[in-house]
Structure 1
Amino acid sequence: MRIARRAGQYALVLWAAVTLNFALPYLAPGDPVNYLYGGDQQALDRKYVEQLRAGYGLDRPILEQYVSFWSGLLHGDLGMSVEHNRPVAEVLWDKLPWTISLVGIATVLAFVIGTLLGAWAAWRRGTAKETGTVVGVLVVDSMPGFWVGMILIAVFSVTLGWFPSYGAATITATGGEWFAEVASRMVLPVATLTIASIGGFFLMTRASMIGVLGEPFIRLARAKGLGEFRVAIRHALRNAVLPVYTTLTLTVGVLLSGAVVVESVFAYPGLGKLTYDAVTARDYPLLQGAFLLATVGIVAANLLADLTYPLLDPRVRRDRTAAHGHSEVAA
């Protein structure tokens, strides 16, 4: 019953988000067909432009387009991309693996590094090292993602020449050479997203760890003669990391939005760069598909965290079991 209620809530959120995503592109000025085939130079006669608009369904009323959008969505049809002249689903599917790899690796690295740094800073609370770490992380966290990316390009690509600064792989690369190209060209974009996301994990872990260190079971563990490392890892960090788990879902949304800027800076062929190009071209169907994919990913991540958190925290399971028992007694 709880899962069904939660699923219904997330379905409502998804409906509202998709509806908003459908409306947002239409609030921007311009017309995709006019941008690509008309504009100031009038590359095509006006009647041909109108025929193209009719072919893409852009001449119909907004409400009719909305109903058609949902009908196609239920059948797996996201429409045709005006810029690419291909089904939106195909265009998104081609770019999706690049962004998943980029965001997935960056999320794991940011989580591990930010959590360990936050736990270390809390353990060293009140020392000069802890103060320096907090200041350093806050300074880095305040930097815009595009600026971090340009600094990394200037240092590691232009000055040192260690990594390529754009693209995902050369066209002629095959086999092992292709994988090496992909790995080398992914280093700087992943580093940019990771650096931009460490701050949230660091601050959350540090605050949670400080709270846990004041709990009675930590004093009991020390009274038993357990080593400091074991107390820090097995008792303090193990409990402090539970609230940090929920920030993973928020980080997914942050990284997906940050990927638009980072992929544009590095000309990386993912969904972020695709979304930027779709905005430039006023490609409404492609924008709707990209927004829909991002929205579904964020909602799914939140739902997964909501369902799996009780498996990590026994206290939540006990509370829900007790509440369920009380309701049965009251009935």
Structure 2
Amino acid sequence: MSLFLLKRFVSFVATLLAASVVVFAVLEILPGNAAEVRLGPTATPEQVAALSAQLGLDRPAFARYVEWVGGYLRGDLGVSVAYDTPVWSLIAERLRVSLPLALLAMGLTVAVALSLGVYAAARHNRLGDVGVMTLSQLGLAIPNFWLAIVLILVFAVHLQWFPAGGFPGWTDDEGGSLWDGLQALMLPAVALAAVQAAILARFTRSAVLDTLREDYVRTARAKGLSRRATLWRHVLRNAMIPVITIMGLQFGNLLTSAIVVENVFVLPGIGRLVFQAIANRDLAVVRDVIMLLAGAVILINFIVDLLYAWIDPRLKGGDA
């Protein structure tokens, strides 16, 4: 087990390092810099050079990369050029919206997809199976930003059950409450979860059907265990390994997909921060947010690897 964890941890660190190099290099090769955007088109070359030196943009790329990684490890992400505010405080403020939104969307995805996937597998080639597969195909075909607009028209404009956009905050001091915050995030979460639930339901169905053909399932049924008990006690756990892989990828995808949906619902999350930073050529914010999202995806995959070992003890061996 220790060797399994060590190998996964080394892979986790190496992937993080590689992602940091790619993120830094890609933003380095873009034309222009923050000094030119901050001073505007009327600035002289001398003024741009002076501000670039003040911001440290005239230093070698490798030195700036090392400083950036070191700052990340210390929790010092620098100062936003556009907002003149520490980048970490900007990100932390926006994560108070984006992270609950992704968690709520993931919860809806898992609850709906596992239920429908198991239901469809238990009724293979029957009406229930066909119905679930049809719904999942529709879910795959609908863009989440279009679904977001439809949800606003139906549930916010016509029925007025949920707000059409904006975020009131989580506390009374911010002008809202926990319930108000959840209401503001419900429609965006549904818009995000619809596509992901369609994907996960299909994978769950396939994994359950494959597991139902195993010998130990037939043995359990021969011993008198009911079909429902066999599904939930034996089949689902063994079918979860490929399903968890998709779930891990989907949570990372929800964090990135939220960028578009947050702008549709005018939510002050990471998505709007990225759009504003790109418009202002605030590369410090763009770089740190992208690295944060990449790190979150890599961390989720690392956690998924650990869950593999918990679900399937055979993976704990030295050859895993």
Query: What TM-score results when the alignment is normalised by the length of structure 2?
Result: 0.90
Distance 1:180 1:108, change over 3 A: closer
d(CA) in 2 for partners of 1:111, 1:268: 23
- 2:269 equivalent to 1:267: no
Q: Which residue of 2 aligns with 1:31?
A: 33
Q: Which residue of 1 aligns with 2:215?
A: 216
Contact 2:135 2:198 in 1 (8 A): no
d(CA) in 2 for partners of 1:125, 1:316: 30
Q: Deviations over 1:163-190 (max 9, x none)?
A: 1122211699548952232121111111
d(CA) in 1 for partners of 2:16, 2:303: 14
- 2:277 equivalent to 1:278: yes
Match for 2:267: what amino acid? Y
Contact 1:56 1:80 in 2 (8 A): no
Match for 1:197: what amino acid? Q
Secondary structure of the residue that 1:269 maps to in structure 2? coil
Q: Which residue of 2 aligns with 1:102?
A: 101
Distance 1:287 1:195, change over 3 A: same
d(CA) in 1 for partners of 2:182, 2:170: 15
Match for 2:90: what amino acid? V
Q: Which residue of 2 aligns with 1:288?
A: 287
Distance 1:50 1:175, change over 3 A: closer
Secondary structure of the residue that 2:56 maps to in structure 1? coil
| Structure 1 residues 171-190: aligned runs within 5 Å | 173-174=172-173, 177-190=176-189
Q: Deviations over 1:18-37 (max 9, x none)?
A: 11111222344443343344
d(CA) in 1 for partners of 2:52, 2:143: 38
Contact 2:170 2:181 in 1 (8 A): no
d(CA) in 2 for partners of 1:233, 1:155: 36
| Structure 1 residues 71-110: aligned runs within 5 Å | 71-110=70-109
Contact 2:170 2:178 in 1 (8 A): no
Contact 2:113 2:198 in 1 (8 A): yes
Query: What TM-score results when the alignment is normalised by the length of structure 1?
Result: 0.87
Q: Which residue of 2 aligns with 1:10?
A: 12
Match for 1:127: what amino acid? R
Contact 2:211 2:239 in 1 (8 A): yes
| Structure 1 residues 1-331: aligned runs within 5 Å | 1-39=3-41, 42=42, 47-169=46-168, 173-174=172-173, 177-317=176-316, 320=317
Distance 1:124 1:19, change over 3 A: same
Secondary structure of the residue that 1:165 maps to in structure 2? coil
d(CA) in 2 for partners of 1:184, 1:8: 41
d(CA) in 2 for partners of 1:303, 1:219: 34
- How many residues are paired up? 318
Distance 1:166 1:205, change over 3 A: same
Contact 1:167 1:267 in 2 (8 A): yes
- Out of 303-312 and 116-125, give the one that drifted further: 303-312
Secondary structure of the residue that 2:177 maps to in structure 1? helix
Backbone CA RMSD of aligned residues: 2.4
Contact 1:173 1:181 in 2 (8 A): no
Distance 1:72 1:226, change over 3 A: closer
Contact 1:115 1:241 in 2 (8 A): no
Q: Post-superposition shift, 1:207?
A: 0.7
Contact 2:252 2:300 in 1 (8 A): no
- Out of 22-31 and 211-220, give the one that drifted further: 22-31
Q: Deviations over 1:149-172 (max 9, x none)?
A: 111112111222221122211699
How many percent of aligned residue pairs carry the same amino acid?
Answer: 32
Structure 2 unaligned regions, length at least 5: none
